[in-house]
A and B are shown apart, each in its own frame.
Chain A
């Protein structure tokens, strides 16, 4: 157990729907990062939050949004889902806003859009 908790582990939903993925960072970590990994693809950075504030944004679609709550857990909202959104979504956390100490990844949420 890495200490980063992601729920749900699996999610199957239909096109056009909206889902919310949840992440609880490792105790003491203030920074949360979201990544998308499509089949046989690398990890694509979506967005980073640090202590409740958005810190960096990657190639995140407008249909996607995220937030980090006062208790530091984070949610990634995916709306108007398309087949191409099927992927593994990973959350990672780190102590500071910098990645120099490395990330700790959660076990991911596998989203299947049918």
Chain B
């Protein structure tokens, strides 16, 4: 089976840096995704990691360690609009390669 853990809630200050962690246990690992979801809206794609290391994309970076079953999403220069849920999702190459999502981390950015 698959098990994905991430903190339920986090709070950070505008302009600061925040790191959202995700640990997973899965068979047939085939990549890890991060999505952003504002309340009541569709998730939107942020990043994809399949190899170990850091992927940087503007203010957002994502890191993966396959041996540790660990990933994090790093958000720099936080803005109020970054207040949202951040979903960690694992792709596994069995039964259709669908994504299994963690419960999401609700990030609140304060002035």
Contacts and interface: CB of A to CB of B under 8 A. Distances in A.
Decide whether A and B are members of one complex. Answer: yes
Interface residues of A, number: 28
Interface string A23-54: 00000000001010000011111001010000
Interface in B11-30: 30
B60 interface: no
A105 B95 contact: no
Contacts of B83: none
A55 interface: yes
Interface of B: 30-31, 33, 40-45, 48, 50, 87, 89, 91, 93, 95-104
A42 B98 contact: no
Interface of A: 2, 33, 35, 41-45, 48, 50, 55-58, 88, 90, 97-100, 102-108, 110
B101 A42 contact: yes
The 7 closest A-B CB pairs, nearest first, are: A56-B96, A105-B42, A55-B96, A42-B103, A98-B97, A43-B101, A56-B95
